[in-house]
Structure 1
Amino acid sequence: MTQRRNLITDVPGLRIGNAQDSALGSGVTVALFDAPAVASAFVMGGAPATRETDLLDPDKMAPGIHGVVLSGGSAFGLDAASGVQAYLREQGIGFAVRDALVPLVPQACIFDLINGGNKDWGRYPPYRELGYDAARQAGPDFELGTAGGGYGATTANFKGGLGSASAVTSAGHTVGALVVVNSIASAVIGNGPHFWAGALEEGGEFGGYGHPERVDAQKRQLVWKGGPQPATTIALVATDAALTKAQAKRLAIASHAGLARALRFSHALFDGDTIFTAATGRRPLQDEAAEFTELTALAADALTRAIARGVYEATALPYPDAQPAWRDRFSRG
């Protein structure tokens, strides 16, 4: 049996690639599927930046997609999917329409335009090339924290980043989450070190602090990024279960519970919170109701843990007055 990585790539049939620009202060994360994956999405944020999400609705004809992009750059970052399409087209991958191949690559972006990086990129933003580079590097292992689409991410009080986690259901289905944590609010209780996700932590994956015995009113006080500043947590949840598009949609809806548990708070007016789901179809459901119900529960758990890992693994950006990382204050060495 292959050793579990505690990454979304524990789900067979997909690869992840990162590319980032340290001067820009932003980057791109790409998920590529070995075969077209049944997919859907659900947007609960009030300020999303997305591409090709409509084709993921169960009533739309597209049978599967070839990749998903999680990117920085706000609406400018939507160019990243064009770079991924270019890479896939070179590999002869796409939705066939007679002699034409059209790679289907939905995308969501975070707002990271005021994090200290140099966004004076000239006429065209650099995300198309970053998308191509991320796709070219896709594989089973990838960096977390200040990497890829999470490079420029921030939260209300600590540096955000790219997180991932996985789980296996009692029936043997693998489910994994990949997330860019750029939340308007906080992933930690009070000033830390405990994460809101602490009760679900496995094996010290985000510091081993667990959950405090009591969370008093002071620790529950709301903190968020000041003013009308957009912020977004975007994610991909993948499984090896064989799902219909309608089931993939329901999985996306249920997975938003992971955002609600890991962040205080989510789904706000200036959030773009979006979750994609993808099923690689390697394992059919035998007891559909029971197995799918457990799958939705563990998907939300994996996303909760992945959010905490994204903040835990992050390092501060290399700019003056950059937001501190959780590790700067609470690392145990």
Structure 2
Amino acid sequence: MSEITNIAEIPGIYAASATSEDAGTGCTVIICPKGAVGGVDVRGGAPATRETDLLRPEETVGVLHAVVLSGGSAYGLAAACGVAEELERSEIGLDVGVGLVPIVSSACLFDLACGDGHVRPTSDFGVAAVRSALDNPKEPLDRGNVGAGAGCTVGKFAGPDRCMKSGLGQGVQSAGSLVCGAVSAVNAVGNIKDPSTGTYIAGVLDDKKGTVLSPDQFFQDMAKGAGEAKMPLRTNTTISCIATNAKLTKAQATKVAQMAADAYAHTIYPTHTTNDGDTIFVMATGEVEAPVDVVGVMATSALEKAILDAAWSAEGAYGHPSARDIA
């Protein structure tokens, strides 16, 4: 197998986004037409999700056809309806005797304060993303201010005026024939940190908006009663999907999702707060035998890369600078 650098290059995986650049919102879909084994880990305090209970190991449905990462807060769940409808028209889904039912899981992030909050990803967004993915199977998934990353921002614990633009990122980790690819839309309340250097590359800005500040002093002041909480409640989330060619059971896919959550702790500070709806999906196509712990470690590495890529690939927009702007 040649070196894979984009999640859409993993055999059996298709991916694309639909974006409203003016409104600063969109959705990203990752599709496995033959059906993948799915898992999920939800750690944030305010998730907006669809079909996560179905992915529990004890539930009877053992196939997952698509994951939708969407903006629009809870309104964005409508994009998943469009994805399901278009997959059915493409004859992709679980055979239930009287027809096909595509199994589509989704998670949404809050981007209503970035761009035009009156525009949300509708079912038409989902249809467009599916058509783009299936009609252009060799087209790499775009990164930056696209899809679910169109309206992402980070570093909001000091208020929206000092946050930075983030976006949609990707990361791939491979060893031999085993591949783990990650897609992440990073809309965290916390800062983004490069774990290899400990440097904050995006997050809350100083008063002159030229330097990323450490969160430590801010939260110490809050603990002493000297700081004021300015973060908007329940408006932050990092949502991700990991696609792998590993052969996993539902329980193992769930464990991989749980292990991959370490990537959030390595790259986002603070993370899993009451103001975040952090969610990670796993899709396993079942081509390669591999120990689940190995898959989990590789998935974590791929997701770390995706989160950092979300910060570096974003462009400044809607009045918010990006990591590129202040590097």
TM-score category, normalised to shorter length:
0.7 to 0.9
Q: What is the SS of the residue equivalent to 2:29?
A: strand
Task: Please show how residues 246-261 of structure 1 align to structure 2 within 5 Å.
Answer: 246-261=251-266
Q: What corresponds to 1:324 in structure 2?
A: 321
Q: Judge conservation of contact 1:154–1:182 (CA < 8 Å) in 2.
A: yes
Q: Judge conservation of contact 2:111–2:117 (CA < 8 Å) in 1.
A: no
1:221 has 2:216 as partner: yes
Letter of the 1:128 partner, please give it: S
Q: What corresponds to 1:196 in structure 2?
A: 194
Q: Judge conservation of contact 2:70–2:106 (CA < 8 Å) in 1.
A: yes
Measure the CA separation in 2 of the matches of 1:29 and 1:296. Answer: 23
Query: Could you tell me which of 238, 243, 246 is aligned with 1:241?
Result: 246
Measure the CA separation in 1 of the matches of 2:170 and 2:302. Answer: 8
TM-score, normalisation: structure 2 = 0.85
Q: Which has the higher strand share?
A: 2
Q: What corresponds to 2:128 in structure 1?
A: 133
Q: Judge conservation of contact 2:57–2:250 (CA < 8 Å) in 1.
A: yes
Q: What corresponds to 2:160 in structure 1?
A: none
Q: 1:282 to 1:63 in 2, by over 3 A?
A: same
Q: What corresponds to 2:172 in structure 1?
A: 166
Measure the CA separation in 1 of the matches of 2:110 and 2:216. Answer: 24
Task: Please show how residues 278-317 of structure 1 align to structure 2 within 5 Å.
Answer: 278-285=283-290, 291-317=291-317
Which runs of 5 or more structure 2 residues have no equivalent in the other structure? 156-162, 202-212, 219-228
Which runs of 5 or more structure 1 residues have no equivalent in the other structure? 188-194, 207-217, 286-290
Q: Judge conservation of contact 1:10–1:166 (CA < 8 Å) in 2.
A: no
Distance apart, 1:152 and its partner CA: 0.6
Letter of the 1:85 partner, please give it: A
Q: What corresponds to 1:213 in structure 2?
A: none
Q: What corresponds to 1:272 in structure 2?
A: 277
Task: Please show how residues 173-192 of structure 1 align to structure 2 within 5 Å.
Answer: 173-187=178-192
Q: Judge conservation of contact 2:34–2:92 (CA < 8 Å) in 1.
A: no
Measure the CA separation in 2 of the matches of 1:200 and 1:282. Answer: 36
Q: Judge conservation of contact 1:155–1:225 (CA < 8 Å) in 2.
A: no
Measure the CA separation in 2 of the matches of 1:315 and 1:251. Answer: 31
Measure the CA separation in 1 of the matches of 2:197 and 2:50. Answer: 34
Q: Judge conservation of contact 1:26–1:151 (CA < 8 Å) in 2.
A: yes
- Which runs of structure 1 show a deviation greater than 3 angstroms over 4 or more consecutive aligned residues? 197-201, 222-225
TM-score, normalisation: structure 1 = 0.83
Q: 1:19 to 1:178 in 2, by over 3 A?
A: same
Q: What corresponds to 1:13 in structure 2?
A: 12
Measure the CA separation in 2 of the matches of 1:312 and 1:226. Answer: 23
Q: 1:154 to 1:81 in 2, by over 3 A?
A: same
Q: What corresponds to 2:221 in structure 1?
A: none
Identity of aligned residues (%): 36
CA RMSD of aligned residues (A): 2.0
Q: Judge conservation of contact 1:14–1:32 (CA < 8 Å) in 2.
A: yes
